[in-house]
Structure 1
Amino acid sequence: MASIRISPDKSVRPAPADLPASLREYIDYRKSGLSLNHIVGCPLDCGYCVRHLFANFSMKRPHLIVEDEVAVESLVNHWAFRAHTTPIQIFNRATDPFLPGVKQHLFNTLKALDRRRLTNPVLVISRWKIEADDVEQLESLEHLRLTILVTWSGIADERVEPVSSEIAARSLEVLAKTAFRTKKILYWRPIIAGLNDTPEHLSSARKLARLADATVFTGLFFRDEIRTYFRDVGVPDLYHAVARRKILPEETERRILAYFEGLPIFRKTSCGIAFAHGVADFNGHWGIREICEICPEVQREICSHHHRKPALDQVRDLARLVSLSTDHIEISEYHIEVDGSTEAQRYFMQHTLNFQVHDRAQPHRKHRHGRAEIGWE
């Protein structure tokens, strides 16, 4: 495994004036909440990184778009932000939050939110080194419901992932020994059929899972830009086609679930986070009951208890707020159906209501769990 060279320089340069607008807009809405990304640039070179989609993969050094306090003010005054409700992600799109230089901005941002006595769920995703001193900073928070998702794949092909998975394993070990208020998730991704789903990988993942409060597993985000990159570096096509949704074949999932019997493992990020904190899933996945069949009974009880069908007037008010048509809105006991929506519109409504919101043009196929059709009959 080739080693990644990380500059010891802890400074973060100002972002260049020609930074693409898609990155300069440092707040966007995703399924796991409002995403705050006022630092862009990463040297880790993971071949499947979403930065390919933002034409930013070549920026190896982190750059600061705005100061931390400015970013936090923008976040809490964003039209979609709801105090104590809206899930927040920090530095999950264009850098790693625990890189030298970046992590101090992470701590500044977390503390600025915590000083406001906000209790929102906060997600921080990393595959880099987390030290005991870092955990001490995280544990000093008093209000935020913080979860660290440690990304581990076990992939040994440096063309796909040059970062040694041993780094993430050590970070999880540190968290297991030193984090108490801060919750920790084994974020097992991307799982790629034929590459890192061998019995040896399953065994390693199960051992690491015992260090975490929960395990979340997911597949590969495989778009044209990512496939082109892999072809350029000599990696044969990982799947026969690209897809809008993540790819995780049925047979791979079946083997994972059988191997993990007896341990808390989840198909969805928000489900694992909910279990770790002992609360209901903020995405309301209880409305897609087959997703929940693998969840521990205690979590199913929590989610079922908090599952409430919203009133039509409430849903229409939220639809108007996000400029979504209120025509043809339908509400069942399980989910809301709308027309002509964007992901951001749906996810805002979903998090506000803790209730699934679907678009008719992109229906959920039963037992696909929101994944691509590739690898499923």
Structure 2
Amino acid sequence: MSDEQAVDQLVRHPAFRAHDTPLQIFNRATDPFLPRVKDHLHRTLELLDELGLTNHMLVITRWHVLEDDVARLERLQNLKVTILVTWSGISDPRIEPIDSSIAQKSLKTLAAFASRTRRILYWRPIVKGLNDTDDLIAEAHSMSQFADATVFTGLFHREQIRDYLRSVNVPDLYEMVPRRKIFPREVEDRILKAFSNTPIFRKTSCGVAYAHGVHDYNGHLGIERICDICPADQVKICTAAHKPPTQLQLLNFAKEVGLEVDGIEVFPGHIVVGNSTEQQRYFVQHATGFQVHDRAHPHFPGRHGRAEEGWT
């Protein structure tokens, strides 16, 4: 499939909303800045930009971002492009095969040459006892000075990850293999103390919104205490945009993606649905600007959507 065909399929997709749907590219099977990939990255972004689209475009990388790459990104005029530079500080090659110094250099290149293109230090995964030392936290804080914002998060501890790490003789990182990310409270507390005067965010979309000076498209403001670390000016921006959908709007969005309309509940800060898929929830979430949860997977106050381990 050509880049032109891919863009055409995207903009014609029933779930795509011009200027609203947040987009990501090459974030699963490859890295967007690998030599054989980045020409497709740049061309795809240019094609979308030429359509006048102002959607968020998240580009996640741990590879080399060169000055020429930044120059090409800077020529875009419409898309809200954010480069999320993934860094973990993990030095054990059995766990992290990519040298973390590459991300450091990429972030500095973006800081030196990017203006319109936003940059985020994507600090992940943070694992208790592995890369949460005071020295690494201090190193992350130093790197954050080259970013518009820092987003920090824990580990999706999947069976496949545990099996692989066992195969290379790495002791189990955690006991549980939960549905949500593991990020112990004690680790978060130490990081927040170190970053007390630096913009740092628990959620990716919050960091992206802050970097662009717009509201959070995922509506995290409605979830208790997620935003208690956000800068006051950003909270004001999100508060002004955080308005509940009408019942008719919500029902239309739900029907559009085949969600069961019976049992949909609207609370002051979020929406609860039943028997839903992640894709269905995200569509309604982005259309309304309100968090959408399935009642089978409730969010617990103060845990910020994280797994139980490290919070009980």
- Which aligned pairs between 1:155-170 and structure 2 lie closer than 5 A? 155-170=90-105
Q: 2: CA distance between counterparts of 1:303 and 1:289? A: 14
Q: 2: CA distance between counterparts of 1:122 and 1:289? A: 27
How far does the alpha carbon of each residue in 1:87-125 deviate from its partner, in whole angstroms, 9 at most, with x for none? 000000110000011011100110010010100000000
Matched residue of 1:163: which SS? coil
Whether 2:308 is the aligned partner of 1:373: answer yes
Give the corresponding residue for 1:127: 62
Whether 2:295 is the aligned partner of 1:327: answer no
**Normalising by structure 1, what TM-score?**
0.82
Matched residue of 2:225: which SS? helix
Q: 1: CA distance between counterparts of 2:234 and 2:159? A: 37
Matched residue of 1:216: which SS? strand
Q: 2: CA distance between counterparts of 1:218 and 1:159? A: 21
Give the corresponding residue for 1:268: 203
- Which aligned pairs between 1:105-124 and structure 2 lie closer than 5 A? 105-124=40-59
**RMSD (Å), alpha carbons:** 0.7
Give the corresponding residue for 2:168: 233
Give the corresponding residue for 2:12: 77
Q: 2: CA distance between counterparts of 1:289 and 1:112? A: 39
Whether 2:241 is the aligned partner of 1:316: answer no
Give the corresponding residue for 1:92: 27
Q: 1: CA distance between counterparts of 2:263 and 2:64? A: 49
1:158 maps to amino acid: P
| Unpaired runs of at least 5, structure 2 | none
Residue 340 of structure 1 deviates from its aligned partner by: 0.7
Give the corresponding residue for 2:158: 223
Q: 2:81 aligns with which of 146, 155, 171?
A: 146
How far does the alpha carbon of each residue in 1:319-365 deviate from its partner, in whole angstroms, 9 at most, with x for none? 11111111011112111111111111001000011111111111001
Give the corresponding residue for 1:183: 118
Q: 2: CA distance between counterparts of 1:163 and 1:68? A: 28
Q: 2: CA distance between counterparts of 1:69 and 1:369? A: 39
Q: 2: CA distance between counterparts of 1:321 and 1:250? A: 38
Give the corresponding residue for 1:342: 277
Matched residues, number: 312
How far does the alpha carbon of each residue in 1:297-331 deviate from its partner, in whole angstroms, 9 at most, with x for none? 00000001111011111111111111111101111
Q: 1:171 aligns with which of 102, 106, 130?
A: 106
Do the aligned residues in 1 keep the contact of 2:224 with 2:301 (CA within 8 Å)?
no
Matched residue of 1:301: which SS? helix
Q: 1: CA distance between counterparts of 2:262 and 2:176? A: 35
2:125 maps to amino acid: P
Whether 2:298 is the aligned partner of 1:363: answer yes
2:176 maps to amino acid: A
Residue 204 of structure 1 deviates from its aligned partner by: 0.4
How far does the alpha carbon of each residue in 1:232-289 deviate from its partner, in whole angstroms, 9 at most, with x for none? 1111111112111111111000100001000000000000000000000000001103
Residue 226 of structure 1 deviates from its aligned partner by: 1.2
Residue 181 of structure 1 deviates from its aligned partner by: 0.1
Q: 1: CA distance between counterparts of 2:191 and 2:13? A: 39
1:120 maps to amino acid: N
Q: 1: CA distance between counterparts of 2:274 and 2:66? A: 47
Q: 2: CA distance between counterparts of 1:271 and 1:245? A: 18
Q: 1: CA distance between counterparts of 2:17 and 2:146? A: 32
How far does the alpha carbon of each residue in 1:112-167 deviate from its partner, in whole angstroms, 9 at most, with x for none? 10010100000000000011000001001000000000000100110000111000
Matched residue of 2:28: which SS? coil
Give the corresponding residue for 1:196: 131
Whether 2:210 is the aligned partner of 1:278: answer no
Do the aligned residues in 1 keep the contact of 2:224 with 2:302 (CA within 8 Å)?
no
1:93 maps to amino acid: R
Q: 1:245 aligns with which of 180, 204, 215?
A: 180
Matched residue of 1:136: which SS? helix
**Normalising by structure 2, what TM-score?**
0.99
Identity of aligned residues (%): 59
Q: 1: CA distance between counterparts of 2:221 and 2:131? A: 30
Q: 1: CA distance between counterparts of 2:282 and 2:53? A: 20
1:195 maps to amino acid: L
